[in-house]
Every structure is written in structure tokens, then in C-alpha cells.
Structure 1
Amino acid sequence: MPEQPQILATLKEYFGYDTFRPLQQEIIDSVFAGNDNLVIMPTGGGKSICYQLPGILLPGITLVISPLIALMKDQVDGLLANGIAAAFVNSSQNQEEQQDIYKKLLDKEIKLLYVAPESLSFLDTIFSQIEISLVAIDEAHCISAWGHDFRPAYTQLGYLKNKFPKTPIIALTATADKATRQDICNQLNIPKAIQHLASFDRKNLSLEVRPGNKRIEQIFTFLSDKPNDSGIIYCLSRKTTEKLAEKLKDKGFSAEAYHAGIDHQKRSQVQEDFINDTLQIVCATIAFGMGIDKSNVRWVIHYNLPKNIEGYYQEIGRAGRDGLPSSTLLFHSYADVVQLQKFADMSGNKEVQLAKLDRIKQYAESLSCRRKILLSYFGELIEKDCGNCDVCKDPPTFIDGTVIAQKTLSCVTRTQEQEPIGTVIDILRGAQNTAIQDKGYQNLKTYGIGKDIAWRDWQQYIIQLINQGYLEIAFHQNNKLKLTSLSKKVLFEGEKVSLAHLKELEKVKQPVVIQMDQGVAPDLFEKLRQLRLELSKEAGIPAYQIFSDATLREMEKFRPMSDEEFIQINGVGRQKMQNYGYQFIKEIISFSQEKTKKKKKSSKKGKTHKETLALYQEGLSIEEIAIKRQLASSTIFSHIQKLYEEGEDIDLKKFVNTEDIKSIKEAKEHLDNPEGLKPYFEHFQGAIDYNTIKLALAVLEQGTVSVNDE
């Protein structure tokens, strides 16, 4: 094992640092001692030095397994620039280039060799002729089905310990929850690996979450005081990255899209320009940023809700790596959740992915300090709120939740930490279902002690307790609730717990003041009643299930003409707003125009449709047309449908997701009775709304779409 002065001299000579960051020294000493190690260190924490420095001083070669070609090149370029002999082998090279590397390996001219997992088998012959002193597995979470970025090629890596039993293995990742950490060690055949967990607390990052309406406008506002700062916008789809980059360019920003569908040369150029500060903004899918050591990214925006907290944390971790204040902004919407649920359905571990999606959704809707949620998710518990997230800056009203917390934690204790949220709530509320009776939970002391609190309210309180670190979810054990070290303080040490008042959950935005009472309008009520009847026949459900007479009477009186006003009507929830809002608003607007300008009704109606058509032909989206015309999005949506029905050249594919069309096409082929909209709505359990179903069926009738389109 090298002496300490030699280690510090190597750190200074090759990496330019006089001292180690937290945990680095400890990890490096463990590697030199011949131990297997698992390193969980957030992005920017200095993971690479933990194997690169030993790689310089160990006698043989350090083998580094890395998942991405771009990541390898970036790492090797950085090492070569520091005077360290390094190379990579992957599918981007020709045979001649690879043979040259093999010769250098045999001649002991290379100290660190980066290899993609898929290329390992081609190097078996070389491995038998050289000395491997250390095996480093970067992005180690890729081996675990519990992880956020599972890659089947990683599952073969367990053989490395069998092949090199005396060689230490160091596995490294920026994010892994408890289940993933254990799974990594088991799969790599290093169950006794020493686990090193660095702090996940990045105090310099401000955290903010906003509802995903008018995202483009919100982004422009967000960037208004950051004219030259570098940033990344993460999107779910390739198309979104391209459209967003174009809109930013139109506003004068230096921006480019980055996704796997762009050719390799162009992607490399985007990455290079961003690293060199000649490109300000990258609109990217999640593939961008891994291993890129750019310290001055000042902000990160998530245009869509991420799949899980691990991915989100890793991506925001690319901001502010120089320690200076940096901003993060996350948009979330119901549509994002539906799309991510579909992705989870197609994954190999659907239940885990859905549970993790629930956690990021709870994070986005949270009334607790956001940093507390992130840190507790990774097992790091802090007691004070951070003061640097939107919840801390604009806190909700709190209640004393100590008794609620004590009842919950006591119930989890008495079930021996073997039940998920739903069962715990059923016990607290004294439910008499079979699941409770079969396990004898009706005999627990906590059975029925929470009857006075509604089921949904219990759910929200328990989510807050998880968010604050008093409980955790064991995803690898069917989402069972587990106690934490903070639980004991509440149960046995008299610690007080504050919970956000649940009324705050409804305050997503300030209530819109609806128009004044316009009085009765029998003609309008009859129009609304007829519309309800038509929609009920189309959907195959009773009319009252769409809206009650009382709700129609309220529409008659207050005549809402925008989404914001319509949602305020009693009996209108989010789902019904999505399914029927635009038709009823259209009818109310039509009635109002008829009443005030009877003579010009038909010409005005024609004109308003033509105005929408002209803007559509300019390439504007429904949201952009609505802003320009100062009308509700649902009104513009109705214009588009009407124009299509009148034979105008309208491409409906612009307004319905290709994945939805594909799903509806498959449903149409397999449903016993695909007549009307209701069979589809029930088939998708409400995940796809009636409007989308209607549009998708129209697109399929056109026969102009390929469900394989990107």
C-alpha cells in the first residue's frame, strides 16, 4: 500500500487538488487494502478519483466498466489531458484501432482501460495475459432491476469476481436507495463490500416545483434573468426536445436538442459545444449529461415529471457542481403521470416502477421541505427544513400532527413493518375486510384508533410522514412501510411532529373569482341539458353521471367561459373537466354571443373559427393559439375539432400522442364491443380521457398514421 505522502503527491500532480473531499481518502485506503467497495456519491462528489488515483499507483491495469460511449470518451479525454495513460474499447472503433490498444496493454503502456459491458467477452484472451489490479464498475445501479436505469448487459458482470477473485472490485453510482444498494452487491458477488455513503445534501441547489401549464411561457420568464447562464432542460420525448430547442432559438437563445435519434456526429458536437460554453442550453432526453464534468451548469429544468426520485436527483445534480448557487425547476402534470404509467407497464418490474413513480408524484405535490424528502429517500435524515426550496420559502399552515404520527408509527410497529400504506390505513380505520381478518389485525391495539379521520386524509398524512423521514417505503419488499431512526424520537422521546393542513393540498393555485350571477336562462339550461344527453349516449352512460341538474343550473347562472372558471363550478372535477369541459364552455360562449349579437352570430362564429385556422396554419399549438386569442384552450380545441369535421386540412396527429393512438388501435382490435367511447374509457381505467379517445379514433379512421412513428 502506498504511503500517504505519495498518495497526496499523486492527487496534486494528476488532479490538481491539495486535499481530498469527504470520503475519498477513506475509499482509496480501502481499495489499497484489497477490499471490495460500494460507493454512493452524488453527481459532482468526486467518485472518479476513488478508482482513478489507485489506478495510477497500483502495479497492473484498472479495468473500468462504463455504460455509455460518450461517457467513456469524456473520461478518457480528461485522463489523457492530465497525463494519465488511459484508453477505451467499444463498438465505435474499427479493428485496427482496437488492435493498437491491445498491443499497448501487453506492453504495459496503459493504466486505465474503459470497456462497455457488451465488449468484455472480446477481451478474455487479453485479460489472461495482463495483470488486473482493480475492477471499477461505474453507474453500478444499472445492474439492479430495483434501480432507475436497469440495463440487461450489466447483469453478466457478476462473473468478474469469479474470474478475478483476488482483485478488489469498486462499484460506484450517484444514486441508489437501500434496496438497490444491496442488490448491486449481491449481483456483483461482493456481498461483504464496504458501503460508503456520501451526503446527498447539495445546499447550493434551490428546489422548485410548478404545475405544468403554459410551460413555454414559464421557461421564458425563468430564463429572463439568466441570459448567459448554462442550463439543461430534460424532456420525456425526442419530439419535445426538438420543438423546445426551436422555440428557444426563436427567442434568441443558443439552444440545441440532444437525443438518441440524432446522428452520433451531431450529438458529439452538441456535447462538445456545451462543455466549451459555445452552446448555452441543451434540451435533452435523460441520456445527456452522464459523466460530463461541466462545473458551471447554473440551472436544470425538468419539462416533464421524471420516472423516479433517483433519476431526478441525478439530473438536478448536474447543476452547480462548482458549489455556487444554482436553480432547479420541475414541472408536473396529470398527462405526464399517465405517460409514465404506460412506460412502467412495459418495464420488467412494473410494480416497483409504479411505486417509485408514486414517490416522485408525492414529491411534486408535497407540502413538506423538498430537500428533506430527497435526503430521506436515500436514507439521510435531517431535522431542520432547508430554507432553499419553494415549500420552505412559502410554507403552508401547519397543525400539531404528533398524535397522528404516534398512531401511525405504533401501527407500523405492531404489524412488524410487514404492511404497505393501504393496509396500515385499514387497520387504523378499523376496516373489516378479508385481508385484515385473515391476519388477525382486528386484535391489534391500534385497530380502529383512527376512525375519525377519512381514508384519503390518512393517506396524505402518512405520505407527509414518509416525506419527513419518519417512515420509509421498502420497494423491494412489496412497498412495506418501515420505521427509521427518527421514528423512535416520536414514539419514545416525546418529539413533536408538524403536519401541513390538508386544505393546503387544494391550494394549487388561488381560486378564480367566477363571473357574477347572470340569473336564469332557460334556453341555456335546455342547451346544456341536450348537450349532456348527446354526450351520455356517445359514452354509453346515464346523463346524470356526466353532470347533475344542480351543476347545469350553476353553469346557467354563472356562465363560465374559461377552464379556470369552469373548474370552480360545483360538481366539476379534474377528470370531468378533461372529458367534457370544452364542449360545455363552447355551448356557453355560443349562447352568450347569440344573446349579445344575434344578428352577427353566424358570421362571428365563422370568423372565430377562421382566425383559429389561420393561426393553426402558421404552426402554432393549441396552447399558443389560446394565448394569442385570449381564449380558453378548450375553446380552441373545439375549434380544431369543428374545422376537421367541416373538411379543413387539419392534422389531428398534432393533438394526440402517438403512444395513445397505438394503445387505442390495439384496444379497438381486441375489445368485444368497440362501439362508442365508453368501452375504451373503461378499458384504460380512465387513464386516457374521452377527448383523446375521440381524436385518436378519428386519426385511425383517416388511416394516415403509422403507430411506429417516433
Structure 2
Amino acid sequence: MATAWQGERGLERARAELRRLFGFDDFRGVQPQVLARVLAGESTLAVMPTGAGKSLTYRLPATMLPGTCVVVSPLIALMHDQLRAARANGIEAATLTSVDSDWRETIDRFRAGALDLLYVAPERASQPGFRELLASAPLALFAVDEAHCVSEWGHDFRPDYRQLRPLMDAFPQVPRLALTATADAHTRTDILDQLGIPPDGLVLAGFDRPNIRYAMRHRDNPVRQLAALMAEEAGPGIVYAPTRRKVEDLAEKLAAATGRPVRAYHAGLDPATRAENQAAFVASEDMVIVATVAFGMGIDKPDVRFVAHAGIPKSIEGYYQETGRAGRDGDPARAVMLWGAGDFATARQRLAEVEERRRAGERARLDALAGLVETAGCRRAVLLRHFGENPPPSCGNCDNCLSPPKVTDATEAARKLLSAVYRTGQTFGFGHLQKVLTGVEDERVRQRGHDRLSVFGIVEGEEARLLQPLARALQARGALVATEHGGLALGGDARAILKGEQAVAIVVPPRAERRRRRDASPNPVGDPLFDALRELRRELALEAQVPPYVVFHDATLREMAARRPATLSELGEIGGVGAKKLEAYGARFLDTIRRH
């Protein structure tokens, strides 16, 4: 489909629209490549990290091209977040969901060509009546958000996404744009095929999120560890927990331990409570929400300062997407994972429940996650290599780069531990094995005759202190697996280690140390004007019933405080101040600046 905005002329017009609508002077990353293809009517798959401005690649063309851009999005909450943001910037947008009471008006505006954007869920898009509705309206573009959901190889497969290609094929003149932050090479190929996008339509940005600091540590007291993180990070945060029960327990204990507003979110809560907790979090500037992974894909909140995992995620892809919810505004953010060996044991047991044709792929994903957790090298480098990149060996912004861990050769200790597992019958837990290896003669050890085994008392001194982290490492890599009664058995490459064919190196756990609280304030220089601008933003957000970040991001307020514009024209030159917001809020922000 040829358009009037092909080539450099189209990009120049798009830059002018970017300045007018959003208040920014130029594009970031691969946005120009994606926009050039969309404006030229070429179908495209854009793989861009969270926070790289994926939504801009369809919002801008939607205001420039005749007709409506139909956006397929997986969650109602996400659609409504994006709807608020679009309207705040002067874009004509609407949603067509099961909770919208104004659907008749929306359909009339859609048919009349009065909408720039129409958001729908894949379940609605797959209905026969929706195709008839599309045939009655002018269409500019199909945008498929969270496109990895179309692939069985993706980490969040949604069957309804498979119905999108037949729908879009019915309108061959309308280009399609698929967007995702999380897709390895196999998944990318599958998305192209499932959505009918030519292979040369792939635009691949780097996966790096340099503003996120990654850290992983053994989980020993999650309430204390998470409370310490919350003390260091004053802004909003997300804590992912593995079960509904753990979500509620952590939410209650963290609220009591920190005095911060903390709420729970999981699928077992009634819909009204879930919606209320989510809305409170989105609007808050300091709330922490404890949730299962059911929470997050529908959250377009840019000022999340940390994401913590109180257990391992399902895969590196899941981890990347979940941690990507931190720091979307570009300000520093943190991703902290607290893990235990039992997490990997449980995950490996669950592999048996996966259908056989997918089991090998899921096992490879779990092994990759274990490699990320156990690495003594740069976390970011492991992450980026998983997605096919060739990063430098050190990033300078993860726990291992900032404080390189000590690594020791634990091959001999591993052979002793695995031998003890084998000789005691592969049915006992770590505590019993530790007693056997270190020569502790308790009643159970004597009763079983384990004090007469060749492995009894063969570990002492520094090697004895390594047994627990070694057992965790062997479980993470699958050389030790949990039995259904809580014992440990040999698995994976255990026999190769026992035969001396495989070496084992482990990270020596650092000694506990008190962490100094860092200045996590969004106002690092303590400027009273910035605080006053934030207070005004809070008032305006309450009046408009939108989250504060929809008014302006912290970065925009910091620039206002630094430059102190005196006129509307000067205020309009600040990044993030578009024409609609300048008209709506400009006078009140200038008034606050003058008073300071």
C-alpha cells in the first residue's frame, strides 16, 4: 500500500508530529526504521526492548495515515492505560472491550473514520462479526502488540492470536505491524510465519536495558531481604511471588515491616479487588504490589523503580519481560532475584507435566535460567547472549560486575556429595547427607548404618562450608534432582561429574554485610522547585483522574526545575511537553516556577 509519506519526507513529517504531540525532538533506537516501513505500507515485525517506545511506532502513523489503526492488545487493563496516554497527547482513541458502555458510539466513530486508534482484544478480533465491522470502516494499519503470544515457542502463548492472520489476510491492502520485547530467534521466525510478515520485514533492536541493575542472591529470609530493598528504593515496585498464598503472606508481612503501602494481586482475588489494587498501584508514587505473574503485561507504568522475584521465573524470556517493567522512563531501576535450590527442583519436576513435543525446549529454557543464576560473570552478558547478541564481557551495572564474586573449583567436593547421594540410596535430603559427609553421628545416621559408609566424615573445614552452595548449584544445573518425598537423587550430568569427565566451579557466597542506603529520591539535588512541581502534578492527576506519569514524567519535571522556563514558548521546548499538554497544564506549571 503506497502512502504519501514514503522515504525521508515521511520521516520528516513524523518528526514534526513527534514534536507536536509528544514534545520530543527526535526518535530513539530503531524507531525511524520501523516508522519508515509502516509509513511506506510495508508489514513489519519490530522486536524492541521494553521502554524503547514500541507504541510510538503505531501511534504516530495513526495520526498521519487516513483511516484507523486497529491495535490488538492482550489485556483490557493495558488497553485502558494506553488509551489514557493517547488521549492525554491529543490522539483520537477508543477501546472496544466487554467493559465499555459506549461501544455504540465507538463503532459509529470508527465507521466514520473519526478514530486514529481502536484497541481490541484478540478474542474479539477473532469473532466473525468483527471482520464485517472492519469491512465497513477505513483502515490504516493493523498493530499486534505482545506478538510473542502468537507463537507456541513463545513464553506466553495465547491461542486466539492464531486467528489474527486469517482476519488480516481478508484486508491485504492494510499493512501489519507486530511488536514484542521478548522473542529469541526461533520465536521470531514463528511470529513472522504466523502473522504473514515477510522475513525481510524484521527490525531487531538491541535487547539491552542499560538503566536496569541486575542482582541475584540466595533466598534466606525473603521478608528481611525485600524490606531492605524497599528501604533503598523509595519509588513504586513489583514483587513477583510463585503462589497466591505466598503473594498474600509477603504483602501482609512487607506492609508491617516497612510501613509502605503494599497490596496483593493474583487471579484468586475477586475482580473488583484486583482492579482496585491495580488502579491504586498505577496511580501511586510509592506503592509496592506483590503479585503472581498474572500481573504486569497489562501495566504501562513508566516509573517502577524495582522488580523483585521471590522465586525463579519460568524462563529467561519471562525474566526479561518481567524485569523489563522496571525503569521504562529511562531513570535508574533495579531487578533483584531471590532464589532457592528448591525452586529449580520444583521446576524440573513440572517438566513431566509438559506435553512431550515441548519438553526438550522447556528443559533447555530451565537450563539457560540456571546458567544465568549460577554465573560468576556478567549477568547482562548472559541475558543478551541468550537473545543472540554479542555483548562486551562486562556491563558495570550488575552485582557480579560491581562486586566480582570469588569462584572456586568444587569438582572434588561435588564428587563426594554425589557419591553420598548414591551410597545412601538416593532418598535422603541435604541435611542428612551433610551429617554423613561431615561425620555427625546422630541416631538416624547410625540406625541406617550410614556411619559405616566410605563417605562418612570425608568432608571437613572449608570444603564443609561449600556443601550447601554446592548442593544449590548442582540442583540448579540438574545434576541433583528432588524426589517426591523431598530426598535428593542423581540426574543430568551427575554420572559425568562422578567419573571425573565434568568439572564443577561454583560461586563462593559473599559474607553478609550491611548495605548503605543509596539516595533513591527522584530529586537527587534536593531542589524544592522539583518537589513543588511534583505536588502540582499530583493535584492535576487527581483532577483529571489519571496516574501522575500521564501528566508528565519525572525527567520532564527535572528539566523544568533545571531550566526554569518563563514563557509558554520556553516551556514547550522541554522534552515531553507536547502541544496538548502545554495548552492543558502550561499556565499552572509556569505559575509554580515563578513562585520559586
Matched position secondary structure for 1:207: strand
The yes-or-no answer on 1:112 pairing with 2:117 is yes
Equivalent residues of 1:529, 1:552 under 8 A apart: no
Q: CA distance change for structure 1 residues 396 and 278 in 2, over 3 Å: closer, same or farther?
A: closer
For 1:116 and 1:193, how far apart are their aligned partners in 2? Answer: 27
For 1:690 and 1:565, how far apart are their aligned partners in 2? Answer: 27
For 2:323 and 2:108, how far apart are their aligned partners in 1? Answer: 41
Equivalent residues of 2:235, 2:286 under 8 A apart: no
The CA deviation string for residues 132-156 of structure 1, in whole angstroms up to 9 with x for no partner, is 2210000000011111111111112
Matched position secondary structure for 1:690: coil
Instruction: Report matched runs for 1:39-54 at 5 Å.
Output: 39-54=46-61
Matched position secondary structure for 2:57: helix
Consecutive unaligned residues in structure 2, runs of 5 or more:
416-433, 489-596
The yes-or-no answer on 1:390 pairing with 2:399 is yes
Deviation at 1:573, TM superposition (A): 7.9
Equivalent residues of 1:40, 1:198 under 8 A apart: yes
Matched position secondary structure for 2:131: helix
The CA deviation string for residues 430-475 of structure 1, in whole angstroms up to 9 with x for no partner, is xxxxxxxxxxxxxxxxxxxxxxx99x99xxxxxxxxxxxxxxxxxx
Equivalent residues of 1:38, 1:193 under 8 A apart: no
Consecutive unaligned residues in structure 1, runs of 5 or more:
400-452, 458-512, 533-542, 579-684, 694-710
Aligned counterpart in structure 2 of residue 247 of structure 1, from 249, 253, 257:
253
How many residue pairs are counted as aligned between the two chains? Answer: 448
In the alignment, which residue of structure 1 is the partner of 2:166? 159
Sequence identity percentage: 38
Equivalent residues of 1:36, 1:192 under 8 A apart: no
Instruction: Report matched runs for 1:165-184 at 5 Å.
Output: 165-184=172-191
Q: TM-score, normalised by structure 1?
A: 0.58
Matched position secondary structure for 2:482: coil
Equivalent residues of 2:68, 2:116 under 8 A apart: yes
In the alignment, which residue of structure 2 is the partner of 1:690? 485
Q: CA distance change for structure 1 residues 552 and 111 in 2, over 3 Å: closer, same or farther?
A: same
Deviation at 1:346, TM superposition (A): 3.4
Deviation at 1:690, TM superposition (A): 2.9
Q: Which amino acid aligns with 2:256?
A: D
Q: CA distance change for structure 1 residues 166 and 530 in 2, over 3 Å: closer, same or farther?
A: same
Aligned counterpart in structure 2 of residue 267 of structure 1, from 274, 278, 295:
274
In the alignment, which residue of structure 2 is the partner of 1:217? 224
Deviation at 1:160, TM superposition (A): 3.0
Instruction: Report matched runs for 1:106-505 at 5 Å.
Output: 106-120=111-125, 121=127, 122-226=129-233, 228-251=234-257, 252-277=259-284, 279-348=286-355, 349-396=358-405
Equivalent residues of 1:212, 1:333 under 8 A apart: yes
Q: CA distance change for structure 1 residues 173 and 335 in 2, over 3 Å: closer, same or farther?
A: same
Equivalent residues of 1:248, 1:254 under 8 A apart: no
Matched position secondary structure for 1:250: helix
For 2:92 and 2:467, how far apart are their aligned partners in 1? Answer: 69
Equivalent residues of 2:305, 2:334 under 8 A apart: yes
Q: Which amino acid aligns with 2:81?
A: D
Aligned counterpart in structure 2 of residue 34 of structure 1, from 35, 38, 41:
41
Deviation at 1:568, TM superposition (A): 6.8
In the alignment, which residue of structure 1 is the partner of 2:443? 527
Instruction: Report matched runs for 1:636-647 at 5 Å.
Output: none
Equivalent residues of 2:111, 2:138 under 8 A apart: no
Q: CA distance change for structure 1 residues 569 and 276 in 2, over 3 Å: closer, same or farther?
A: closer
For 1:76 and 1:14, how far apart are their aligned partners in 2? Answer: 15
Q: Which amino acid aligns with 1:27?
A: V
Matched position secondary structure for 1:297: coil
In the alignment, which residue of structure 1 is the partner of 2:62? 55
Deviation at 1:388, TM superposition (A): 1.6
Deviation at 1:221, TM superposition (A): 2.5
Deviation at 1:232, TM superposition (A): 0.9
The CA deviation string for residues 582-608 of structure 1, in whole angstroms up to 9 with x for no partner, is xxxxxxxxxxxxxxxxxxxxxxxxxxx
Matched position secondary structure for 2:305: strand
Instruction: Report matched runs for 1:554-573 at 5 Å.
Output: none
The CA deviation string for residues 217-252 of structure 1, in whole angstroms up to 9 with x for no partner, is 2222233333x3221111221211111100011111
Q: Which amino acid aligns with 1:383?
A: P
Matched position secondary structure for 1:182: helix
In the alignment, which residue of structure 2 is the partner of 1:101? 106
Q: CA distance change for structure 1 residues 68 and 186 in 2, over 3 Å: closer, same or farther?
A: same
Q: TM-score, normalised by structure 2?
A: 0.69
Instruction: Report matched runs for 1:592-603 at 5 Å.
Output: none
Equivalent residues of 1:233, 1:284 under 8 A apart: yes
For 1:568 and 1:39, how far apart are their aligned partners in 2? Answer: 46
Aligned counterpart in structure 2 of residue 65 of structure 1, from 49, 53, 72:
72
For 2:337 and 2:53, how far apart are their aligned partners in 1? Answer: 26
Q: CA distance change for structure 1 residues 526 and 48 in 2, over 3 Å: closer, same or farther?
A: closer
